Amino acid sequence: MTLKTLLLAGVLVPVIALAAPRAGLPDTITPQRDMTAIRTAEGDITLLYTQIGMNSAHDVELIGFIRRAADGPAEQIPFEQNGDYNPTLAVRHGADCAVTGVRVLRTGRHLRVIHAVRKGDWLEKKPFTFSVFQLTTNDGGMGGTPSLYFVEKTKLTTKAAYCDAEMALDKEAALYRNVAD
């Protein structure tokens, strides 16, 4: 090989290595301090990350989404669960474990939210249930349905027991990352 070929290979191999793992795999969006802008197939939306201070180690964090309006109030993007629309998902952290947690994933311009929940007390180890939500539009304008909302696509339960939602979401990522559209 010539020096020129080796230099070119030295530049391209890292570029290909960086691009290859991303092809078709979802990006995890980490909520920022309070608002995170996200570009989706349905347009630009904002992830709201807020907190209710409980004056203890058990604060409640809330994850919600809005679509800003040029004139008038922003549009809330709710989560459809069991035939009802909830404006936010709660995340409950304790001093040692989180009994709920959230991951926001974008594949291309499609957005999913995974909400992990387990039953039991703060220090117990139990399986988690992951609710997988997909951002959806009400293209037909069906009455009683928001124009933009997260529909629950599926629920998955871990085989292993965990105390902490963050650990369950990290260790069981393969379980929810490959859910079909």
Question: Given this model, what pLDDT does residue 24 score?
Answer: 60
Question: Given this model, what pLDDT does residue 135 score?
Answer: 96
Can you give the chain as a three-state secondary structure string? CCHHHHHHHHHHHHHHHHHHHHCCCCEEECCCCCEEEEEECCEEEEEEEEEECCCCCCCEEEEEEEECCCCCCCEEECEEECCEEECEEEEEECCCCECEEEEEEEECCEEEEEEEECCCCCCCCECCEEEEEEEEECCCCCCCCCCEEEEEEEEEECCCCECCHHHHHHHCHHHHHCCCC
pLDDT at 152 over 80: yes
Question: Given this model, what pLDDT does residue 11 score?
Answer: 40
Question: Given this model, what pLDDT does residue 6 score?
Answer: 40
pLDDT in tens, 43-93: 899 999 999 988 888 888 999 999 998 898 999 999 999 889 999 999 988
Q: How many CB atoms lie within 10 A of CB 85?
A: 15
Question: Given this model, what pLDDT does residue 17 score?
Answer: 35
Mean pLDDT of 154-162: 96
What are 85's two structure tokens?
């629309």
Question: Given this model, what pLDDT does residue 31 score?
Answer: 78
In the chain, what are the domain boundaries?
A: 26-177
Residue 33 banded pLDDT, cuts 50, 70, 90: confident
Q: What is the mean pLDDT of the chain?
A: 84
Residue 166 banded pLDDT, cuts 50, 70, 90: very high
Mean pLDDT of 13-28: 50
